[in-house]
């Protein structure tokens, strides 16, 4: 009998609050997994707000605490990943205005 597992919800914790990663666009490259996340704060001083996080993970899925660097040749792949994240796409579109 196949089990019906609910998709796991990713969470985060920062100094000013905790919450869930509501949307995430991630690609895999030779060196790492560049990622853009929509953070929804549910607890702490920032409860009820949203923030964007530009980050990356290693190939084992571990969060990396260093700057996100994306090769320009990988931008089309990242743009394609963003097609699955309507809220992130809408927020990022404000950068070009």
Q: How many domains does the chain have?
A: 1
Q: Which domain holds residue 69?
A: 11-88
Residue 5 lies in a domain: no
Residue 79 lies in a domain: yes
Q: pLDDT higher for 4 or 87?
A: 87
Q: What is the pLDDT of residues 44-73, one digit of tens each?
A: 999 999 999 999 999 999 999 999 999 999
Residue 31 lies in a domain: yes
Residue 2 lies in a domain: no
Residue 73 lies in a domain: yes
Residue 93 lies in a domain: no
Residue 97 lies in a domain: no
Q: Is the model's pLDDT at 31 over the cut of 80?
A: yes
pLDDT score for 1? 54
pLDDT score for 30? 95
Q: Is the model's pLDDT at 9 over the cut of 70?
A: yes
Residue 1 lies in a domain: no
Distances (CA, A) of 47 to 10, 13, 20, 89, 91: 17, 12, 11, 22, 19
pLDDT score for 97? 73
């Amino acid at each position: 009998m196949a089990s019906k597992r609910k998709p796991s919800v990713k969470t985060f914790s920062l100094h000013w609050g905790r919450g869930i990663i509501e949307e995430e666009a991630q690609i895999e490259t030779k060196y790492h997994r560049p990622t853009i996340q929509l953070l929804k704060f549910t607890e702490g001083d920032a409860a009820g707000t949203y923030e964007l996080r530009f980050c990356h993970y290693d190939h084992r899925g571990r969060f990396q605490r260093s700057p996100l660097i994306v090769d320009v040749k990988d931008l089309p792949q990242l743009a394609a990943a963003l097609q699955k994240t309507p809220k992130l796409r809408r927020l990022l579109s404000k950068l070009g205005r």
